[in-house]
Amino acid sequence: MSNRVPLAVLVSGGGTNLQSIIEATRDPKYSADVAVVISDRPGVKALDRAREAGLPTVVVDWSDYDDRGAFTNEVCDAAEDHGAEGLVLAGFMRILAPAAIDRFPGRIVNIHPALLPAFPGAHAVDDALAYGVTITGVTIHFVDEQVDHGPIIYQEALAVMPGEEREALQARIQAVEHRMFPVAIDALARGRLHIEGRMVRWEQA
């Protein structure tokens, strides 16, 4: 337990990815721990999930801020106050200011429900369906100064079934997310992810 790397998980909504991370931490061999769950809004299911798991929670309410920098500093302070050494963006719907990258260099990861660089932004599943793509997927990546842009840690493609509804596609995307985000976070915590320019090299276990 003591060798585990403490991380802050940032959420805005349902928290199903948070749940998959919480469940992964139940394995004694897992290398990361959730030090704190930080939400940009009150009253979301993700906060309930955190409390049910006995994890500390902090709400840094976006609506209280008119400045992205001040909001970012508060989020980073809350993470550091709980001993977090990195940030995991798990359905976090806010863009952090570049100051976050200075404070957690190479230690901020995000999950995105499309194959970046296709369909960045907050409506990736809808955008992919509206475009009519027949392949979409999941991207796990480091966060850099641009939105949905940093070096790619892992991608997995999914075929879009003919006539598939949004809910069905999203469920299949989330199944991939819940399987792979904990794996990527474990690799990050073990120091096995090496950023080499745009590429991320996975060091063998």
Residue closer to ligand GRF (CB basis): 51 or 194: 51
Would residue 112 show up in a list of annotated catalytic residues for this protein? yes
Contact 119, 148 (CB under 8 A): no
Closest to 76 in 3D by CA, of 97, 93, 54, 55: 97
Query: Of 32, 37, 60, 111, which lies in the binding site for ligand GRF, with binding defined by CB under 6 A?
Result: 111
Shortest gap between Cβ of 173 and ligand GRF (angstroms)?
6
Nearest-CB residue for ligand GRF: 91
Which one from 112, 123, 141, 149 is the annotated catalytic residue? 112
Place of tokens 């850099």: 144
**Pairwise CA distance, residues 118 & 126, whole Å:** 12
The verdict on 186 binding ligand GRF (CB under 6 A) reads: no
Site residue total, ligand GRF (CB under 6 A): 14
Answer yes or no whether residue 15 interacts with ligand GRF by CB under 6 A: yes
Closest by alpha carbon to 25, among 55, 64, 63? 55
By CB under 6 A, residue 150 contacts ligand GRF: no
In sequence order, what DSSP letters do the residues of 170-203 get, joined into one string?
HHHHHHHHHHHHHHHHHHHHTT-EEEETTEEEE-
Binding site for ligand GRF (CB under 6 A): 13-18, 46, 90-91, 111-113, 174, 177
Which residues have a catalytic role annotated?
112
